[in-house]
Structure 1
């Protein structure tokens, strides 16, 4: 088995152009193409936006022609300081991520190197295991001793979580949901302050009316648009974390209701209900602020093309957040009603 992971597989040389040298050195003698991207996409090649993109499409062509290469794409969604973020490069990464999904590439996202390492070891194990099943003659000498031990169910078996696992999910995901909401709220407070500062600068220019008033105003407006795009990127992952965490919370509560069989005490159910009420309080405390900010962004005048695009970007993220929050509030209240029914039934016993 050979694995292609980019720069580690090449060495300095000359050719028609830099990527051509890399392509010739890589050749087609690899079984797995492993692509890892974070915030940078790379430099343009003769025909593609980056060497990574060119290498991906070469591997995809081999996969489509003869299914001789297994493509594994990973995207790090860990946050980075805004002052070190190249927005153009980051946008190219996200566009590429969307394109390969449309081509049928099932990719994974991760946060941090430790999570990536765990995911990769698990995925490589499964790839090699599948090869062993489908092509025993060519893979019997592969050493799996360094790969993780994984306990799996049979193909048709459904693995159910138990009471303690559901309770653990509740505790963990409740903390993650609140953390995500706090991150969004903090980011929204930050962007509000930034926009206020830009508005003050525009007011000063309007009052002073310098000769280059239009150029100065345009520069401030476009800087504001850049900051708004940074905000949109800043809240993108917390929004996904919030939605995913809440869905798991609701799923865990439904699971508890199914498996409890009166093992869970009345006091524990009351604690779970109180935790939901606390989560709703956290939602309500930030919801009004988010609605007001959404309205203010939507009402910004269309002064330049950059601010128009930034408005659309921010409004789309906030609308996704507000819509998901509305659904979460409905689900939380439905779960509270179910818990109340459970408590009522327990009182009758």
Structure 2
């Protein structure tokens, strides 16, 4: 009987000036399949538009590529040489669109920039400017490296793919027989109310960096809570003072099933008085911030929606959630004055 082997579908994406690197990737993948792939019972299949996309009428070329290979891929390797590529309907190039879509899907993204020597006649200053702007955008996200030779590119790809495959296989083993208390709700595609259903957390903690506890009052209701802030007597020392509404989960709560099932973290927010923004922070068991976002708010109630798989590369960070915090810092970005009321309503996990 044939043994079923998991397949990692690896998409290769690059502008037309990149050629040698495609051959290198295919050689690296062949070596991996013959070595650790064989020993770990995993197979890597490369996907590239010229060999895996079939002609299809009635759609834009990039939409066809997305549908036929990107949507089926587990990871992507993107390489930039001297060009950024041709623009698509929505992005500056097809490769950039593929990178962005894979990030949105929460998939593994590897990006490589060539720094190999080139002839002066091959240098396009406009393209170089676009590439540098793209690198600047992604420099803090830890998804790209620069290589100076084919040998260095070979080494990087081999190391990164090997590390990725071993990590994913370990995660897959850990996922077997792993259950959370949300499994029944998720299997039925139900919403999970993070205020009303969490009755033991109904008394939301108020935390302040200021010693006067009277600067904030929290009022809870069936589907909402309010942060009523009055900082008329607060010294805004170095703009680091804050007031926080804190959900404390003890012991830590496992939200990984929401990641795996593709749920959205959603809520409505509105303010009155002087509050202009707040900080949403979701922390793990050692207070690392899984989510840390500044959100603008006004008297018009606004709906906020965060797709959980888009926040991290895998579900590991969501296995030990200890806190959900709504924070107002005492500086003009967050509160332009001395008093305000922030209302958070319908805090839920919602299926896609």
Interval containing the TM-score (normalised by the shorter chain): 0.3 to 0.5
**Structure ranking higher on relative contact order (CA contacts 8 Å, 6+ apart):** 2
- The structure with the largest helix share of the pair is 1
TM-score relative to the length of structure 2: 0.35
Larger Rg: 1
- The structure with the largest strand share of the pair is 2
TM-score relative to the length of structure 1: 0.36
